[in-house]
Amino acid sequence: MVYVILGALVKWRGPGFLHRLMPPVVTGPIIMVIGLSLAPTAVNFAMGMSGNGEMQMFPYGDALLVSMVSLLTTMLVATLGHGLFRLLPILCGVVAGYLPAMAMGMLDFSGVNQAGWLSVPTFIAPTFYWPAILFMVPVALAPAIEHVGDVLAISNVTGKDYIRKPGLHRTLTGDGVASMVAALFGGPPNTTYSEVTGAVMLTRFLAMAGVPGYIADVVTHLELGPVELVIAMSLIYLILGMFLDPIGVMLLTLPVLFAIINDAGFDLI
């Protein structure tokens, strides 16, 4: 409902008042904080633990193998895929991760086997509990601000004004309606992310500025051996992984990394 109300306000007053209320200095840090706050959860899942890290659900080695297969597949599809596959890197990563997980007995299909071929979800009539509503309204404002930042980021990357067409009021309303429909089916609310959008824009800038070739020339003149080069790249990824999400790190560094590996004489195949 918060999204729908904001969408109605934007339709009534225009997007200008929202820009004054949520300038880039507000939307940018909120997007960064949301992305960084999710990083520990992703790391815990990759190591076989629960999201809060309090329970070990799978052996560390098995979980790390599955997570690395999923991560590498997602990165390869996102950077080297064509056509429809390039639009579905995360789905491809999930499917690829299922294969080793199934081979190591990490999957439990008991719920699937017990479910009927056709079934209707249990619909629950909405109830209004004002203490919970008042508590969640400020929480809902954070992803709403992120939504505005996402639309602005995508507009800057594509060179199109999505604030005007299809209109910020329509995107906000659609986001809110999608969250309400998801709640009717017992699903989580809808949300948007723009961290990877920023990484794509930065990658494009690096490529156009010739930064990958320049860095590759500098590294080549250092005359590092294969072992030293691998250690140096591992340290760089270790440091970046402390502050950025894995997909963002890969999109940011792959243009430079491929140029360095190519000039160092590694076989890319």
30, 264, 36, 48: which is closest to 153 by C-alpha? 30
Task: Note the pLDDT of residue 201.
Answer: 66
Torsion over CA of 145, 148, 152 and 155, rounded to 10 degrees?
Answer: 150
Distance of CA 14 to the CA centre of its chain: 29
Only one residue has tokens 């930065």, namely 202
Distance CA 69, CA 61 (A): 12
> pLDDT 10s per residue in the chain (269 long)?
777 887 788 778 777 766 677 777 776 676 677 667 777 888 888 888 887 778 888 888 888 889 889 888 888 887 777 777 766 788 888 889 989 988 888 888 887 778 777 777 677 677 778 887 787 777 777 777 777 777 877 787 777 888 888 888 888 888 888 888 887 777 777 776 666 666 666 666 666 666 666 766 776 677 777 777 777 778 877 777 766 666 667 766 776 777 677 766 666 55
| Torsion over CA: 51, 53, 57, 62 (sign) | positive
